[in-house]
Amino acid sequence: MANVDYDAIIIGGGLVGTAVAYGLARRGKKPVVLDEGDIAYRASRGNFGLVWVQSKGFGVPEYQRWTRRSSADWAAFSAELQKETGIYSGHERSGGVTICLSDDELERRATRMAQLQREAGDFGFEYEMLDHAALKKLITAIGPDVVGASHTKYDGHANPLYTLRALHAALLKHGGTYVPHARVEAIQAARNHFTITVGDVTYEAPRLVLGAGLGNNALGKLVGLNVPVQPSRGQIIVTERVAPVLPMPTLMIRQTVEGTLMIGESREEAGFDDTTSPEILHTLAERAAKTFPFLRHTCIVRTWAALRVMAPDGLPIYEQSAQYPGAFVCTCHSGVTLAAAHALHYAGYVIDGAIPPELARFSTKRFDHVQAVTSQH
């Protein structure tokens, strides 16, 4: 049996775990990522790809600030990954819109945006409410059923698969280790000393990061962390490639750099069932076609469903174990949006051995009393 020492063991090789692992490696640390096999639930391979701000943090300004920080960092993060690996993440910060199909929707949207601005305080939050004519100037393809939209300059999108690939490549380039088919079922924990055996190999490190998505719920219990994440299903439709038609992403429809249109996303409580359902796909397609009538003549090439990693209040969970200092959890339902923050900042907190006070709102302490869901993608 071989014993291998690292600076940190990260459990989970999706967008969250790999972002933190890369963040450690780019700071000269030696991380190892232990990742389950292909049968695992992997939100990172089935998501929509928004780097999204304008729906984040109603009633929780800390979340808006953290999201804005990541969104602002994304361009440099993407450029760094491309420089390191030659892989372009597809990131564009072109601004984004949430489209409304009725006066009622538009009014509710305006109220929400005003709330975000109010709660942003000195930090500021710039947005515009656009009527049909103003939106048509930005996105000419909208149909007559579109009443208006909210617009912010902070939003954007990326290709989550290229991002994940780039993170893995950059991790290896900086001396990190990735171990596939390595499901972790037991952790030997002591203060700042963690030992995990998978197969014939035992991994040891002074830091442990739970970045295992839905797996964090069970893993947390092994190191004194309460991580009550649950699945929330989302379904996505992808069309054939068409010439550039959307200059910016919308909350529900975006055009990829390759030309396909992605249409999503639903939110359903379906347990661990990650299959698609015709009713939901029909609803998504109908709304998309009302928004952009040209879609009625565009072929669908693929649909899928995937499971979000959702805390009861929809916020990220960042915590260090009080029982076993050195063990951290990093989990969220917006792992694309927050990838830059996890790589560029959260990894530093793991090294320092402390999560800063501005992230205290995301501590597990809040699960003493459950709150309402406060965020969307």
Q: Which two tokens stand for residue 62?
A: 């800390």
* Contact between 315 and 63 (Cβ < 8 Å): yes
Residue 163 interacts with ligand FAD (CB under 6 A): yes or no:
no
Report angle CA 285, 291, 297 to the nearest 5 degrees.
60
**CB 48 → ligand FAD: shortest distance, Å?**
3
Single out the residue of 234, 314, 316, 326 in contact with ligand FAD (rule: CB under 6 A): 234
In the bound state with ligand FAD, the residue whose beta carbon lies nearer, of 37 and 86, is 37
* Contact between 215 and 118 (Cβ < 8 Å): no
User: Is 215 buried (19+), middle (13-18) or exposed (0-12) by CB count in 10 A?
Assistant: buried
DSSP 227-289: ---EEEEEEEEEEEE-SS--SS-BSSEEE-TTSEEEE----B--TT-----HHHHHHHHHHHH
Q: Which of 302, 100, 317 is nearest to 210 (CA)?
A: 317
Single out the residue of 20, 21, 24, 219 in contact with ligand FAD (rule: CB under 6 A): 219
Residue 335 interacts with ligand FAD (CB under 6 A): yes or no:
yes
**CB 182 → ligand FAD: shortest distance, Å?**
6
Size of the site for ligand FAD (CB under 6 A): 45
Side by side, the strands of the sheet bearing 188-190 are 2-5, 201-205, 193-198, 188-190
In the bound state with ligand FAD, the residue whose beta carbon lies nearer, of 145 and 198, is 198
Residue 336 interacts with ligand FAD (CB under 6 A): yes or no:
yes
Q: Which residues in 256-275 contact ligand FAD (CB under 6 A)?
A: 264-265
Selected range binding ligand FAD among 12-20, 112-120, 170-178, 287-295, rule: CB under 6 A = 12-20
Residue 319 interacts with ligand FAD (CB under 6 A): yes or no:
no
In the bound state with ligand FAD, the residue whose beta carbon lies nearer, of 29 and 56, is 56
Q: Which two tokens stand for residue 132?
A: 């049909």
Residue 332 interacts with ligand FAD (CB under 6 A): yes or no:
yes
- Encoded one letter per residue, x for contact with ligand FAD by CB under 6 A and - for no contact, window 22-51 reads ------------xxx---xxxxx-xxxxx-
* Contact between 54 and 96 (Cβ < 8 Å): yes
In the bound state with ligand FAD, the residue whose beta carbon lies nearer, of 182 and 288, is 182
Q: Which residues in 47-86 contact ligand FAD (CB under 6 A)?
A: 47-50, 52
In the bound state with ligand FAD, the residue whose beta carbon lies nearer, of 147 and 229, is 229
d(CA 365, CA 311): 13
Residue 313 interacts with ligand FAD (CB under 6 A): yes or no:
no
Q: Which residues bind ligand FAD (CB under 6 A)?
A: 11-17, 34-36, 40-44, 46-50, 52, 182-184, 211-213, 215, 219, 234, 236, 264-265, 306-309, 331-337, 377
